[in-house]
Structure 1
Amino acid sequence: MTNNYPHELSVGDVYFSPMLLVIILAFLAAGLTVLVLNKLKVSRSIVAPSYVFIAIMALYMVLIDAFWIKF
């Protein structure tokens, strides 16, 4: 039984885990989401912004893994 999803991502001769790309994309998406929340002034009502950032990043990691890049 073969797996259709790549186990490694290659850049030149260096191999990376797909999870590294998922973490980077989730970090960028969470940062963009936090910027939007700050512009809309929703972040004033958040008690612990750093925990919310980590929670949003974890949510994006799950969504990216489920629908886009499988690791």
Structure 2
Amino acid sequence: MTNPFPHELSIGDVYYSPLILVALISFLAALITVMVLNKLKLTRYFYAPSYVFIAIMVLYIVLIDTFWIKF
């Protein structure tokens, strides 16, 4: 029984974990989300915006891992 999903990404002869790609995509998505929240001035309701950024990033990591890139 083979797994149809890759276990690692290769660039040249160096292998990387797919978690690096997922973390990069989720960081960019969280950055865009926080920029939208700043434009809408919704961040003033957060007690600690930096923790909210990390929470949004973790949420994106879980969602991307579950539905798109499986590692």
RMSD of Structure 2 on Structure 1 (CA): 0.6
Q: Distance in 2 between matches of 1:36 and 1:12?
A: 36
**Percentage of identical aligned residues:** 70
Consecutive unaligned residues of structure 1, counting only runs of 5 or more, are: none
Q: Distance in 2 between matches of 1:6 and 1:24?
A: 18
Q: TM-score normalized by structure 1? A: 0.96
How far is the alpha carbon of 1:14 from its aligned partner?
A: 1.1
Partner in structure 1 of residue 62 of structure 2: 62
Q: Distance in 2 between matches of 1:41 and 1:66?
A: 30
The letter of the residue matching 1:60 is Y
Q: TM-score normalized by structure 2? A: 0.96
Consecutive unaligned residues of structure 2, counting only runs of 5 or more, are: none
Following TM superposition, the consecutive aligned residue runs of length 4 or more in structure 1 with deviations greater than 6 angstroms are none
